[in-house]
Amino acid sequence: MPKDARDQRRRAAPPDPIFFLGAWSFSKFFPNFIPFLMLQTRRMSSSFTNHPIPSCSPYWVVNLRRNNLSGPVPSDFRRLQALSFFNIGINRITSIAQALRALQECRALAVLILTTNFQGEEMPGGGAIRGFPSLRLLGIANCALRGAVPPWLRASARLGVLDLSWNRLAGKIPPWLGGFDSLYRIDLSNNALAREIPPALARLRSLAGSATVAQVSMSGYGVRLYNWHVDRGQLWYNSNIPPSLDLNRNGLAGSIPPELGDLRALNLLNLSWNALSGPIPATLATLRTLQTLDLSRNELAGEIPTSLAGLTYLSCFDVSHNRLRGLVPAAAQFSTFPCSSFAGNPGLHAEYCERNGVVGGAQETDGTLLTVGSEMFGLPFWLGMIFGLCATMFVHVVVLESTVRRSI
């Protein structure tokens, strides 16, 4: 193609409908935003309200993650009728109610990430927030939000991923969360939720295997999705968001519902750091694809079900600091887990851990090390030390005497 023709075609091509201002990449911008962008550099530091949002309905991806933006989300964002992906995570945005009111007018919105903003505000309930009918992924994590799990989520019938972790949400886990057909990842960890785990969660069709897990893909948006973990930094998922139920670090009480064994598509089940009591349900052995099972830091009693030895994909298992008793199942799978996975259970015994000095989950002095020490530092050792010391002193005396004689 001649150069003039290529230039003409380039000028005639429509703008790329992506507005990407992430910290990792500075991608393509649509022309209407150029005056706005000229005021900023790689890390924008400004107020949203200083820059009016023009009508730009053809644009469907807006990524403003990890900048220094402050102030509320302008109500003008409701004009983005083609908007499918919106991420303003890790900024200093305020007024979550205004953000949700504006963005709910974007009827095509499928991915909404508001993580690490709105510090200490109240999670809006019903009323002015109608919901997001096209939403597939919602991330409002690490905001220290007060309130409860919002009822307007029920309007998001297509929701697949829900992350409300690292907030201060209180009350109970609503049973209606089990009524979603496509929801396959729930992260409500690090909140103040109380009462029992509702057995209704076992009705989640995607996790129960009665519906195909249609995973949320980020590849179409040209971005990566991250999952926030304060203790491990940021874990990135390029395309795979594992089917999981994470309720750790809350105030949940009562027993573990046996019905959770119906969630056969689960890869991760984390119920640690709660006040759960009663036995470990043997029905969890039906979770054949489970890779992580963390029940640590609870008040669970009884024995570890031997049927859990059949979870051949299990690579992380932790029941430490409970009230378990009996023997750890003598299976090859369990022998691969560190002894710390069983610590803090005085009545629990694992043969391979006891051989290494762990009895009842408490670390004891290793007798093998004592034997080795007595052999290393026994009589031959001390005789050698005495002989070496005497030889050194003799050499020093001879050298000193020789020096004195020369000086005389």
Give the whole-angstrom CA distance, residue 305 versus residue 324: 11
Mean pLDDT of 272-288: 97
Given a cut of 80, whether residue 385 has pLDDT beyond it is: no
Q: Is residue 190 part of a domain?
A: no
Q: Are 193 and 172 in contact (CB under 8 A)?
A: yes
Q: Is residue 390 part of a domain?
A: yes
| b (16+ CB within 10 A) / e for 298-336 | bebeebbbbebbebeebeebbbbbbebeeebbeeebbee
Looking at 88-97, 164-173, 332-341, which range is the least confident one? 332-341
Give the whole-angstrom CA distance, residue 188 versus residue 234: 17
Q: Is 111 helix (H, G, I), strand (E, B) or coil?
A: strand
Strand runs labelled E in 31-142: 61-63, 70-72, 85-87, 92-94, 111-113, 137-139
Give the whole-angstrom CA distance, residue 241 versus residue 259: 23
Beta bridge partners of 246: 187, 270
Looking at 26-35, 82-91, 146-155, which range is the least confident one? 26-35
Q: Is residue 144 part of a domain?
A: no
Mean pLDDT of 83-94: 92
Task: Give residue 327's identity as a one-letter amino acid code.
Answer: L
Q: Where does the pLDDT of residue 406 fall: very low under 50, low under 70, confident under 90, or very high at 90 and above?
A: very low
Q: Is residue 118 part of a domain?
A: no
pLDDT in tens, 195-237: 999 999 999 999 998 767 667 766 566 666 555 444 444 444 5
User: Can you give 141-177 as a three-state secondary structure string?
Assistant: CCCCCEECCCHHHHHCCCCCEEECCCCEEEEECCHHH
Domain that holds residue 387: 374-400
Reading the block at residue 333, the tokens are 């799978």
Reading the block at residue 140, the tokens are 């409002």
Give the whole-angstrom CA distance, residue 360 versus residue 350: 8
**Tell me, what's the pLDDT at 57?**
54
Q: Are 145 and 122 in contact (CB under 8 A)?
A: yes
Given a cut of 50, whether residue 240 has pLDDT beyond it is: yes
**Tell me, what's the pLDDT at 15?**
39
Q: Write down the mean pLDDT value for the chain.
A: 77
Mean pLDDT of 2-21: 45
Q: Is residue 19 part of a domain?
A: no
pLDDT in tens, 14-58: 334 444 444 332 223 333 332 222 222 234 445 555 555 555 556
**Tell me, what's the pLDDT at 227?**
54
Q: Is residue 388 part of a domain?
A: yes
Q: Burial, 398: exposed, middle or buried (Cβ in 10 Å; 0-12, 13-18, 19+)?
A: exposed
Reading the block at residue 256, the tokens are 């573990």
Q: Is residue 332 part of a domain?
A: no
The number of domains in the chain is 1
Give the whole-angstrom CA distance, residue 340 versus residue 358: 9
